[in-house]
Structure 1
Amino acid sequence: MKYVIIFLTLIITSFSSLANVIISNTRVIYPEDQKETTVQLINRGTSPALIQAWLDENDPNSTPETAQVPFLLTPPVVKIEGDSGQQLRIRFTGAAGSLPQNKESVYYLNVLDIPPKQENLDGKNLMQIAIKSRIKVFYRPANLKIAVSDLHTYLSFNAQGNQLIASNNAPYFASIATISAHGKALIREPVMIAPFSTLTIGTTEPVSGGQALDILLVDDYGSYQKYSLTTK
């Protein structure tokens, strides 16, 4: 029997309808002053599921063997019974102060739902899909100078034709679900602006200085918060 597994990666923005095992969070915040943080997995199917999980530094092609991160994730492999759940524990194992102390750092949690081997299919070709979900893990230093709820006040947008030059002067990652003007979306997909950095964002139509924008920011809980800004 030919046995082929295809891997499908999902970046989680909402619960996947394809995977039996889902991650209850859409993002994870790891405060520096906590010993560990947890992530809840839920098996919505009726059959047991085998899960493999690991963290990486923004490498979608990473594997548990190649990923090098200052975190310990347990359990790395676990069987989750149908209609049941399992917690993953993430513990920072790096040296104190080894990550930037003036801004967040981001990592990615991978959860691979490995399909069970089908029985009584000898002599038949078989293709199965192993679904890999990925969500962001933000490591947040304890002594950042501003509140995360004020993030939007540290964002600015410079209009340049069919581009917006977005500046983030906050110590937090700015995850923007959409940018719109007069009810029309200006970007085709979400963007994330790193702390203390700028990002050039292509727009679906020209923008001008003094133009009102509505942005949807993703907060710590995965909810959208709407703010109105004006371009420069």
Structure 2
Amino acid sequence: MFVSTLTRRMLSYGVATFVLSLQPLTSQAALSISGTRVVIESDQRSVSIIVRNPSKKTYAAQAWVNTEADDTTTAVPLIASPPLFRLDPGKDQQVQINALPNTLPSDRESLFYFNVQEIPQTNDTSGNALNIAIRTRIKLFYRPHTLEGGSVAKLTELQWFLSEVNGVSQLIVRNPTPYHVSFVRLDVMANGKKHLVKNPDMSAPLSERAFELEGLKYQEGMQVVFSAINDYGAYTQPLTLPIQAAR
């Protein structure tokens, strides 16, 4: 409720809001965050993240956690503290993400998002100024501490298939692991040629994800070459795995 009320007030005062997802850290936002993702394990009470103001202006900022749906009504078991703060030029603010008692799945990660909304100050008294309030949004993974291995070590367990649905070729990734996999590169190799998969994004745990391919039929010996993002926001080394025909 606080988020939606604040947004309405900002719009009434001539503040336009924009959302930015960090991958990697964007330069358009005045405030920056000390990472491109957050991981909190189930045996941790909290984790901290630093919000910085490298600009020459003073900003107020709001911080909160929500779901992929990006609404203000779904309850989440993670609270950002402080939820509202002031950042003077060149200053940092430590934001603590506190975990509440919950019934989240114990066999896989759960995905949330950490948000920081800039609230620029204005000296304009005419009411004609339009202030741009940019919201930065990064992924937050709640990870059961009992999960074995690691997200990068499990990448070799991804299974890849090529199928055709209504005349459209699809590259399907089957993710049997308990981890989310965020792709930054996804290529299909066929007959020595590379076919780029456009807009590769993320594969959720214990699920399948389909990526559309243009005019590519299954051939023996096809392979997928991909890189993902690790817990620290770095890119993994390219990994090559075989592609099977969908059954």
State the TM-score, normalized to the length of structure 1: 0.90
Give deviations 1:110-149, integer Å, cap 9, x for gaps.
1101111233x42x62211110111110011011133323
Tell me the secondary structure at the aligned position of residue 148 of structure 1.
coil
Specify every segment of 5 or more residues in structure 2 that has no aligned partner in the other structure, as ranges. Answer: 1-11
After superposing the two structures, state which structure 1 stretch, 196-205 or 177-186, moved more: 177-186
Q: Does 1:117 align with 2:128?
A: no
Q: 2:39 aligns with which of 29, 37, 44?
A: 29
Distance 2:151 2:96 in 1: 24
Give the equivalent residue in structure 2 for 1:211: 222
Superposed CA offset, 1:7-45 (max 9, x none): 100111122221110112100010112221011111110
Alpha carbons of 1:32 and 1:78: their partners in 2 closer, same or farther (altered >3 Å)? same
Tell whether 2:15 aligns with 1:15.
Answer: no
Q: How many Å separate the matches in 2 of 1:100 and 1:197? A: 14
User: For 1:231, what is the secondary structure of its paired residue?
Assistant: strand
Q: 1:190 offset after TM fit, Å?
A: 2.9
Going by fraction, where is strand more abundant, 1 or 2? 1
* Matching residue of 1:141: 144
Deviation, 1:219, is 0.5
1:179 matched to 2:186? The reply is yes
Match of 2:241 in 1: 229
Q: Bigger CA drift: 199-208 or 189-198?
A: 199-208
Cross-structure match for 1:89: 96
Do the aligned partners of 1:180 and 1:215 also contact (CA within 8 Å) in 2?
A: yes
Identity within the alignment, %? 30
Q: CA deviation at 1:91?
A: 1.0
What corresponds to 2:65 in structure 1? 55
Paired residues of 1:163 and 1:207 also in contact (CA < 8 A) = no
The alpha-carbon deviation at position 3 of structure 1 amounts to 4.1
User: C-alpha distance in 1, partners of 2:233/2:200?
Assistant: 13
Distance 2:43 2:130 in 1: 45
State yes or no: 1:220 paired with 2:225.
no
**Counterpart in 1 of 2:111?**
106
Q: CA deviation digits over 1:48-88, x for unaligned, max 9?
A: 1110011111123x24xx34211121000010111111111
**Which region of structure 1 is more displaced relative to structure 2, 126-135 or 145-154?**
145-154
Give the structure 1 partner of residue 7 of structure 2: none
Task: Give RMSD over aligned pairs.
Answer: 1.8
Residue identity opposite 1:178 in structure 2 = R
Match of 2:171 in 1: 164
Question: Deviating runs (4+, > 6 A) in structure 1?
Answer: none
Question: Cα offset for 1:204?
Answer: 4.2
Contact 1:49/1:114 (<8 A) preserved: yes
Do the aligned partners of 2:66 and 2:112 also contact (CA within 8 Å) in 1?
yes
Asked whether the equivalents of residues 51 and 78 of structure 1 are also in contact (C-alpha less than 8 Å), the reply is: yes
* Alpha-carbon distance in structure 1 between the residues aligned to 2:13 and 2:232: 40
